[in-house]
C-alpha cells in the first residue's frame, strides 16, 4: 500500500511498498478516504519536529471501517468515520479529570509519535473513532479535527453571546474560529490577515470587517474605540501577540492558538499588567469536542468544504509541503484524496 513518510527537515517521501496493517482485538481497520494537510506537519517539515522521522504523516482524516476487532462493540463494517488522533494515557491526573488534551502524553498522537493516516489503510483503537452522520461528507469528516481545535479555543476563552472578537490570521484555524464565533453569537467579528484571497474567504465565512495587520487600530475604533473583548491569535508570532496586546480592550482576553515563535519579544508587554489583560494558551480538544464539531457540520452551521482550496493526489504531497512552507500563498486546507 501507498503512504507518505516524514523523513526529517525538508524531506517528505512517498512509499508504495508499505505493509497493510493488522488489527488488535480493540481496533478497527479503516480504508482511508480523505486526509488534510495540517500546519503542524508543515511546521515539522520546516523545523524537523515534533513529527518523528520515519513515521507516516496525517492526523486529519476520514474513512470507512472494513474490519473489526473481536472486542469492538459499537462499530460496524461500513461505518463512515473520523478519528480523534490523540492517544491519551487514561491514567494521569488530567485524563482522570476529563482533560485529555492536557494528558502527560500530550504529544502522543497518530501522525506525530505514531504512524498517521496518509496511506491507504490505518488501524486505530475503536474508542478513538467517531461515526459521521450520512450528510457529513468525507471531506468534512477530515475537517472535524481542526474544527475541534477552534471549538475548544472558543470554549476555553469563556466567550459570551454579544462579545466582540478579533481574529489574527485567516488560515484554516482562523476561518474555523470565525465560524464557531458566529454560531456562538458574536456581535462583531474583525479579522487581521495580509493575503487578499484569505481576507475574502474570512468575509464569506462570517467576518464583519477584515484589515491588513498594520491597520489593527481600525478595529479598536470600530469596537467602541476601546477594542474587542476577545482576540484569538491563530498565528503565534511575537508581532501578532504584540498586536493582540495593543488591540484588546482593558480587561479583555487574548487566546493564543497558533505556535510559531518559541520566544516572544514584546516591546509592549507592560500593557498586559496595566490593562488587566488575560492571556491564555489553548491546546487540542476532548472527545466531547469532536462530537460537537460533527454536530455543527451535520446541522450545516459550519463548513469545512469551503476552506478547502486544493484537492490533490498522494503523488503531489511532497511538492505541496514545499509550497506551504513558503508563505505567503493562497492555499488554505489542502485535502489529499485516497478514495
Under the binding rule (CB under 5 A), the answer on residue 256 touching Zn ion is: no
Bridge partner list, 201: none
Among 32, 68, 103, 256, binds Zn ion (CB under 5 A): 103
Applying CB under 5 A, which part among 96-104, 106-114, 150-158, 221-229 lies near Zn ion? 96-104
Do residues 21 and 1 touch, judged by C-beta distance below 8 A? no
Q: How would you classify the pairing of strands 308-312 and 333-337?
A: parallel
83 part of the interface to Zn ion, by CB under 5 A: no
Nearer to Zn ion among residue 3 and residue 227 (C-beta):
3
- Pairwise CA distance, residues 298 & 251, whole Å: 36
| CB of residue 81 to Zn ion, shortest distance in Å | 17
**Closer Cβ to Zn ion, 21 or 85, answer by number:** 85
Q: Which is nearer to Zn ion, 88 or 141 (CB)?
A: 88
**Residues 147-176: x where in contact with Zn ion by CB under 5 A, - otherwise, as a string:** ------------------------------
Helix ranges (DSSP H) in the chain: 39-47, 93-96, 138-141, 144-156, 172-183, 196-204, 216-222, 238-247, 271-274, 287-298, 317-324
The single residue listed with the C-alpha cell 481574529 is: 167
38 in contact with Zn ion (CB under 5 A)? yes
Count CA within 13 A, CB hemisphere, residue 105.
15
Among 89, 203, 226, 279, binds Zn ion (CB under 5 A): 89
Contact between 259 and Zn ion per CB under 5 A: no
For residue 50, cis peptide bond before it (omega within 30 degrees of 0): yes
- Give CA–CA dist 144/237, Å, rounded: 26
Total of residues contacting Zn ion (CB under 5 A) = 6
The least distance separating Zn ion from the CB of residue 322, rounded to whole angstroms, comes to: 19
315 Cβ neighbours under 8 A, 6+ residues apart? 14
> What's the CA gap between 321 and 318, in Å, rounded?
5
Radius of gyration of the chain (CA): 20
The answer to whether 95 contacts Zn ion (rule: CB under 5 A) is: yes
Q: Which of 1, 14, 75, 92 binds Zn ion (CB under 5 A)?
A: 92
Contact segment (CB under 5 A) with Zn ion among 90-98, 198-206, 208-216, 277-285 equals 90-98
Which residues of this chain interact with Zn ion, rule CB under 5 A? 38, 88-89, 92, 95, 103
Amino acid at each position: 500500500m501507498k503512504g507518505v513518510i516524514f523523513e526529517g527537515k525538508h524531506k517528505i517521501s512517498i512509499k508504495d511498498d508499505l505493509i497493510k496493517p493488522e488489527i488488535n482485538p480493540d481496533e478497527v481497520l479503516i480504508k482511508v478516504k480523505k486526509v488534510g494537510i495540517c500546519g503542524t506537519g508543515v511546521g515539522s517539515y520546516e523545523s524537523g519536529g515534533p513529527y518523528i522521522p520515519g513515521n507516516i504523516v496525517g492526523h486529519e482524516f476520514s474513512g470507512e471501517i472494513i474490519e473489526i476487532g473481536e472486542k469492538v462493540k459499537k462499530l460496524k463494517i461500513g461505518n463512515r468515520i473520523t478519528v480523534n488522533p490523540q492517544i491519551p494515557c487514561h491514567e494521569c491526573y488530567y485524563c482522570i479529570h476529563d482533560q485529555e488534551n492536557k494528558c502527560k502524553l500530550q504529544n502522543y498522537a497518530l501522525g506525530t509519535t505514531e504512524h498517521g493516516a496518509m496511506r491507504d489503510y490505518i488501524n486505530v483503537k475503536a474508542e478513538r473513532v467517531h461515526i459521521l452522520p450520512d450528510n457529513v461528507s468525507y471531506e468534512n469528516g477530515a475537517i472535524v479535527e481542526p474544527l475541534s481545535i477552534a471549538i475548544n479555543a472558543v470554549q476555553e476563552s469563556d466567550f459570551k453571546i454579544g462579545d466582540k472578537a478579533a481574529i489574527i490570521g485567516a488560515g484554516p484555524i482562523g476561518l474555523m474560529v470565525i465560524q464557531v464565533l458566529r454560531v456562538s453569537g458574536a456581535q462583531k467579528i474583525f479579522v487581521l490577515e495580509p493575503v487578499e484571497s484569505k481576507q475574502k474567504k474570512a468575509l464569506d465565512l462570517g467576518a464583519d470587517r477584515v484589515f491588513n495587520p498594520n491597520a489593527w487600530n481600525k478595529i479598536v475604533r470600530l469596537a467602541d474605540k476601546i477594542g474587542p473583548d476577545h482576540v484569538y491569535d491563530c498565528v503565534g508570532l511575537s508581532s501578532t501577540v504584540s498586536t493582540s496586546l495593543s488591540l484588546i480592550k482593558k480587561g479583555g482576553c487574548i487566546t493564543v492558538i497558533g505556535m510559531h515563535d518559541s520566544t516572544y519579544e514584546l516591546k509592549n508587554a507592560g500593557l498586559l499588567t496595566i490593562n488587566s489583560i488575560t492571556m491564555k494558551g489553548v491546546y487540542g480538544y476532548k472527545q466531547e469536542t469532536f462530537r460537537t464539531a460533527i454536530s455543527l457540520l451535520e446541522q450545516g452551521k459550519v463548513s469545512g468544504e469551503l476552506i478547502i482550496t486544493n484537492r490533490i493526489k498522494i503523488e503531489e504531497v511532497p511538492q505541496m509541503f514545499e509550497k506551504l512552507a513558503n508563505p505567503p500563498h493562497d492555499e488554505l486546507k489542502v485535502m489529499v484524496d485516497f478514495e
